[in-house]
Every structure is written in structure tokens, then in C-alpha cells.
């Protein structure tokens, strides 16, 4: 982002899931992930590269997530922070998360419970607020899956 080498402005990049608790939204999937993570302290971000999909007829979408062996699990209290703004210079380069809020360049949208997706939005905001894991809209992203 700092160097401008990646053309990320104006596009969405889904990067992971944020797990905060075994409650709604996505309670079933949240509890399933919590079982897989064991005693892991929450909140965590799990990069999509560390997840596989599996068929699960009990899940509302018919799919659930398996955490891969060796998956990077990122614990950070900022994932439970109230929504706010931050400056790009305040990014933890290891995790991609803001070190602190209080700037004015970019938005950071969060929630306080459940499981949500995590993505870089088209205006370089970081978002882990939406409850719909299958979110798609007329100004961004479309996902196609073939069972």
C-alpha cells in the first residue's frame, strides 16, 4: 500500500475471517471454528489461505470451514475496537491490521461478536463488520462456487 506497487485501490480483496465469539452473526460457523482452534484467545483473524471449505448440511450455506494445519492465526484486540479511522503509517506490517485508531485516512469497520468476513474495500478501508459471508453487491464483488 505504501509503495503503490499493488493496484488495490478501487477493488475488493477478501483476506480472511474474523472470529470474536460463538454468538451471532454466523453462530454455527463461529462455534465450529472455536472447536477447531481450541483454547485460542479471541478475537482472531484467520487468513483465507489457512482455510479449506467442506460440505456441511447443518451450516446455513451448506458449507463450513476447516482450519488447515499450520494456518496463521492472528490475535489482536483491535479486531474488537469500535469502528474508527486510522492512517496507513499505523499499519502493523506483519498482520495488515492497524496498530491504533485515531487517524483520518482510512476506515476500520468492526463488530463485537460472532464471525464475519475480513476484506480490504475499494477505498482502502478494512472491514470486518458484515454478517453475510456470501456478501456481493452492485459495486464490488461477485463470487462463484461450483460444488
The answer to whether 109 and 19 are in contact (CB under 8 A) is no
Which pLDDT score, from 0 to 100, does residue 137 have?
54
Residue 87's pLDDT is what?
95
Taking 70 as the pLDDT cut, the residues of the chain under it are 1-11, 134-147
Q: What is the pLDDT of residue 141?
A: 54
Question: According to the 3-state scheme, what is the secondary structure of 84-107?
Answer: EEECHHHECCCCCCECCCCCCCEE
Per-residue confidence (pLDDT) for residue 94, from 0 to 100: 92
How do 106-109 and 74-75 pair as beta strands? Answer: unpaired
- 60-92: string of b/e by CB count within 10 Å (b at 16+)? eeebbbebeeebeebebebbbbeebebeeeebe
Domain ranges (residues) in the chain: 15-127
List phi, psi (to 5°) of 44: -135, 155
| Whether the Cβ atoms of residue 34 and residue 45 lie closer than 8 Å to each other | no
**Which residues, in sequence order, are CB contacts of 137 under 8 Å at separation 6+?**
none
Q: What is the pLDDT of residues 79-106, one digit of tens each?
A: 999 999 999 999 999 999 999 999 999 9
Separation CA 27–CA 22 (nearest Å): 6
Residue with cell 492497524: 98
Give the pTM. 0.85
Amino acid at each position: 500500500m505504501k509503495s503503490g506497487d499493488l493496484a488495490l485501490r478501487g477493488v475488493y480483496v477478501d483476506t480472511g475471517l474474523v472470529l470474536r465469539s460463538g454468538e451471532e452473526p454466523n453462530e454455527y460457523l463461529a462455534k465450529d471454528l472455536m472447536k477447531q482452534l481450541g483454547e485460542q484467545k479471541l478475537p482472531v483473524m484467520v487468513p483465507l489461505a489457512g482455510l479449506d471449505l467442506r460440505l456441511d448440511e447443518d451450516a446455513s450455506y451448506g458449507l463450513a470451514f476447516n482450519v488447515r494445519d499450520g494456518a496463521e492465526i492472528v490475535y489482536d484486540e483491535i479486531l474488537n475496537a469500535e469502528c474508527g479511522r486510522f492512517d496507513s503509517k499505523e499499519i502493523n506490517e506483519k498482520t495488515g491490521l492497524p496498530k491504533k485508531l485515531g487517524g483520518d485516512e482510512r476506515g476500520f469497520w468492526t463488530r463485537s461478536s460472532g464471525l464475519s468476513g475480513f476484506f480490504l474495500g475499494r477505498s482502502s478501508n478494512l472491514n470486518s463488520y458484515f454478517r453475510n459471508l456470501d456478501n456481493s453487491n452492485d459495486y464490488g464483488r461477485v463470487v462463484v462456487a461450483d460444488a
